[in-house]
Amino acid sequence: MKIAVIGAGSWGTALASLLSEGLNEVVLWAYEPEVAIGINQNHKNPLYLPEESLNPALKATNQMEKALKGAKILVNGVPSHLVRTVLSKASPFVGPEVIIVNASKGFELDTGKRLSEVLAEVFPKIPKGNFVTLSGPSFAKEVLRHLPTTVVIAGVDPKVTETIQKIFRRDTFLTYTGKDVVGVEVGGAVKNVIAIAAGICDGMGLGYNTRAALITRGLYEMAKLGKMMGANPITFAGLTGMGDLILTCTGELSRNRTVGLRLGKGEKLATILKEMKNVAEGVKTAKVVYDLIQTFKMKAPLCVAIYQMLYEAKPPKQALQELLAIDLKEELGGLLK
């Protein structure tokens, strides 16, 4: 079976290399010709993972039709803000029988839609059951190094999710299945926003108590927003909620935490982003989350504060003072009722 992975950033590359370790033919589509050449000739991604060795069986191309011809599974690894644009170019080469695996995290910027909703619009002839989402606490470098990693495959058709579960399963890459696509995608998106705040706390030297409180309250706001969007709040206690949140807020490899860390030390956002090769999804996602909070008329002071620091240049010290001054109510605020 042929599998096409679209998007050769660090995460798409890691998944493509992982998949190529099996019996399937795997082709990775890269926007940059030099990335495809580097993978084919040197088994390395020269732009996004220059120090990591990839499976020699992995092939890459910058030609969309070549990547997709004959593919039965398409894995989306494109950054959230480019999903509709890039995958629309892929659509003419994708038949109605293809299974679409969304492995990207975030929301569409202009619409606030979840990425599986965007993909369903891009591929209107593909049945709803053929769309699944892969998410969980998973740094690309650690996947490539075969360090134990666990993710969730969420979809509405159990046969399809179990098929993808088996295809991705490896000795050190464990795949659970789930049905709550909304919860899985909201968790995967919002955790990046909270990770920026965790980095700011660390950059300001606020200590472990503050970080623990921030992660916990961030989890609450994540679950609250997810519930508003139709998710099961229990989902956020699992790998794609709490698990991914802990990883992204505390891991040294977290790009979003790195953005926050540098902000907390007084650097300017524009400078930080200019120097980063890989996308820090939380920066763009923060604006979408803020807009969703306004739409649902819900209280989420932490996410609002993150938006204000990123887009209104509010000083972190002022944001902290305002968060410490909020009125306190019941901890979970009727979340599980």
Contacts of 11 (CB under 8 A, 6+ apart): 77, 103, 104, 138, 140
> Three-state SS for 85?
helix
Catalytic residue among 191, 224, 227, 284: 191
DSSP designation for 44: S
**Is 329 noted as a catalytic residue in this protein?**
no
Q: How are strands ordered across the β-sheet holding 131-135?
A: 59-61, 25-29, 2-6, 71-76, 99-102, 131-135, 149-155, 173-178
CB 139 within 8 A of CB 253: yes
Rounded CA-CA distance 317/298 in Å is: 24
Rounded CA-CA distance 14/8 in Å is: 9
Rounded CA-CA distance 60/41 in Å is: 10
Rounded CA-CA distance 336/173 in Å is: 32
Contacts of 198 (CB under 8 A, 6+ apart): 211, 214, 215, 218, 248, 249, 250, 257, 260
Q: Which amino acid is at 95?
A: G
Residue given tokens 């505390």 in the structure block: 250
| Structure-block tokens of residue 207 | 């200590």
Q: Which helix (H) or strand (E) holds 134?
A: strand 131-135
Rounded CA-CA distance 45/325 in Å is: 47
Rounded CA-CA distance 282/37 in Å is: 30
CB 53 within 8 A of CB 29: no
Torsion of CA 115, 164, 144, 12, to 10 degrees: -30
Residues with catalytic roles: 191
